A and B are shown apart, each in its own frame.
Chain A
């Protein structure tokens, strides 16, 4: 069909260059993101050990995950604890420091950089190794504790009751990126609103609750969603600190770690694919929940409600 071909040619002439520029991204998206995602969706319904071709098993994987997999349930509970405690604590520390930095004038640049540094380093292997040293039996924390109180602490890192909390602490310590975003958000709140509020007799706390929090809500929301997603995906720290096994006693068996073990230690690629999809659904559900509730607590300036 010459007419149709003509149209194609014309389309290519007009837009071809643009698509050529897009090509690297398109290859990346289809080859490295969408392709594998779809493949893993298929693999979720198979048994696949990398040696033999995948075998279709229908809903078996799903049934197992839902009804029989105790470890899955345990790893979910570990991850939820991590998210539910770690994220709000990280955000609270980030907001608190952002408010302090916002008020002070001198040396803000330096402190901003200093506080941001852990975030740059946080997810790295080196820091996780350092964290192990810090919270080990002979670690710095215990040394300081001993000097201060004369009490010999346990090895936090290898105690099932505390190990997860050392990871939560590591997470909180990386408050840098939400802090920077909070700082930018705080700078957006006009000073005269605080002045008006203090003329209205409002104390610092009331100003925080009635002015800062509501006006910062969009930023808090943004940080909350971002940090929640990140926390659900947490892997490196747990992998290093728990020796790749979720030690001690599975107390740090994060969901992503369990997924990794299933895939690359037990070579159950099919089941691991299903786990990945379940994580995606959970994150999606949390994000949806956040967006859905946001209309009750997030005020946007340009909104007429």
Chain B
């Protein structure tokens, strides 16, 4: 168990810089999730923490101690790989014991630690099998078991669930959550699945192209995205973005004129500049049906997706752009039907030209 600090961490592969000076602090016992689209540098950052990639610039500190020149073997962390990376020639028991044997832990103690871990992960009956004789979910458990027997200072997970089917993913997610509470250990988890991220994280770190876009609790990021990227990345279906500009401004009161649709009134923290281009972001669940004369937007339903508990309707606006509306329950909207929509309770975000947020609703 330990805390972790990244100071201006940079990673270059040859001439290509893929991590551009990341600062981050992770407290002892925290569950932090790195999310971001493919290729944004999540794995690279995690592997730098693990000691599997060299740190090109900046510093990584564990418990205040600089780790840059400490080898992976000596950092006392453990990692669960996306590929599981189980030793194929060793039994499950040997896989779990390998790290302990390396540390020259006495035999009796190894047996105890291994059966403890096997107990927690319910892999008792599998101990004498080889990894090749296990299902994907069982391998996953063994991989996690191998990480926990060593009682590492920090757990690192690199998309450990991405090879599992939906049901198992959910199950393992719950188990990892439980494991975190039980062990109280610091955990860093990489995923590009935002449901995984939202459900597991104490804090999420959203990465894009090697830069941290925002750090915060899942709901914080959901409710107060710092920019259009985070707003669009978190939440499913995606937030709708509508282009427009600032109309009349009266003190902190301003009118927003959307390219498609009517005007919206709102109060800014700081008065915006009249005529300034903006993007208005509204989540699909915050769009509600309205009377035609009160509607902000109207369009024609194109596709309806019934999920049982909710319904997604894809609507084309007059300029051809598409927006998504989420309706609770099973709404019988037909293709071609006209819908008039308003925003519930002024729940929208406004982003400036640089995509940074200028107003939260």
Q: Please list the residues of chain A having a beta carbon within 8 angstroms of any beta carbon in chain B.
A: 190, 192-193, 195-203, 206, 210-211, 214-215, 299, 301-302, 304-305
Question: Separation in Å of the B54 CB from the closest CB of chain A?
Answer: 13
* B85 near A201: Cβ-Cβ < 8 Å: no
* B88 near A215: Cβ-Cβ < 8 Å: yes
Would you call B83 an interface residue if the criterion is a C-beta within 8 Å of the partner chain's C-beta atoms?
yes
A302 to B88, CA, bound (A): 10
Q: Which residues of B contact A214 (CB under 8 A)?
A: 89
* Residue-wise interface mask of B (67-102) relative to A, using a CB-CB cutoff of 8 A (1 in contact, 0 not): 000011110111101010111110000000011001
* B73 near A198: Cβ-Cβ < 8 Å: yes
* A301 near B88: Cβ-Cβ < 8 Å: yes
Band of interface residues on B? 20 to 34
Q: What are 18 A-B contacts with C-beta separation under 8 Å? A: A193-B87, A193-B88, A195-B52, A196-B85, A196-B146, A197-B87, A198-B51, A199-B77, A200-B150, A201-B74, A201-B76, A201-B103, A201-B150, A202-B73, A206-B102, A301-B132, A304-B130, A305-B130
Q: Most B CB atoms within 10 A — which of A210, A299, A302?
A: A210
* A304 near B85: Cβ-Cβ < 8 Å: no
A28 to B12, CA, bound (A): 60
Question: Separation in Å of the A106 CB from the closest CB of chain B?
Answer: 13
Q: Which residues of A contact B52 (CB under 8 A)?
A: 195, 198-199
A200-B81 contact, Cβ under 8 Å, with A214-B89, A305-B130: no
* A199 near B72: Cβ-Cβ < 8 Å: yes
The 10 A-B residue pairs with the shortest CB-CB distance in the complex, in nearest-first order: A200-B99, A192-B85, A196-B85, A299-B89, A198-B72, A201-B102, A201-B73, A214-B89, A199-B79, A198-B73
Question: Separation in Å of the A300 CB from the closest CB of chain B?
Answer: 9
Question: Separation in Å of the B182 CB from the closest CB of chain A?
Answer: 21
* A193 near B85: Cβ-Cβ < 8 Å: yes
* B89 near A215: Cβ-Cβ < 8 Å: yes
Q: Which residues of A contact B103 (CB under 8 A)?
A: 201
Q: Which residues of B contact A198 (CB under 8 A)?
A: 51-52, 71-73
Contact pick for B98, options A197, A299, A301, CB 8 Å: A197
A197 to B94, CA, bound (A): 12
A192 to B81, CA, bound (A): 8
Question: Separation in Å of the A177 CB from the closest CB of chain B?
Answer: 26
A214 to B89, CA, bound (A): 7
